[in-house]
Amino acid sequence: MLEQVAFKMQLNPGKAAECRRPHDAIRPELSAVLREVGTPDYCIFLDAEIGNLFAVLWRAPDRRTEQLPHKEIMQRSWQPMAHIMATQSDGSPCLTPLQPMSHPD
């Protein structure tokens, strides 16, 4: 059974278009690597009023997501983000986990 994970990231004001372009350019490669490590579905949404990116992903019990930071495509996806959003020292986005509050099941 897949596990659902949600988190938010902080985008700098006025940078939504800049955030979309790099991801669009590498989408097939990034999607393939995510599936390879056990994450078959990953979506990012923008709250334009406050500049939050809200992400939801589904991951398999036998996932290998700890490999993601070491994948070239992941590092390449982070490079253009350093000046448009809050990031860690390694270039990865600052993530704030979100807790589930309600589900119909």
How far CA 8 is from CA of 25, 55, 105, in Å, comes to: 22, 6, 24
CB atoms within 10 A of CB 10: 15
Euclidean distance between CA atoms 16 and 48, whole angstroms = 8
| Residue that the structure tokens 């020292």 belong to | 89
Annotated active-site residue in 23, 70, 83, 103: 23
Please say if 23 is a catalytic residue.
yes
**Catalytic residues, which ones?**
23
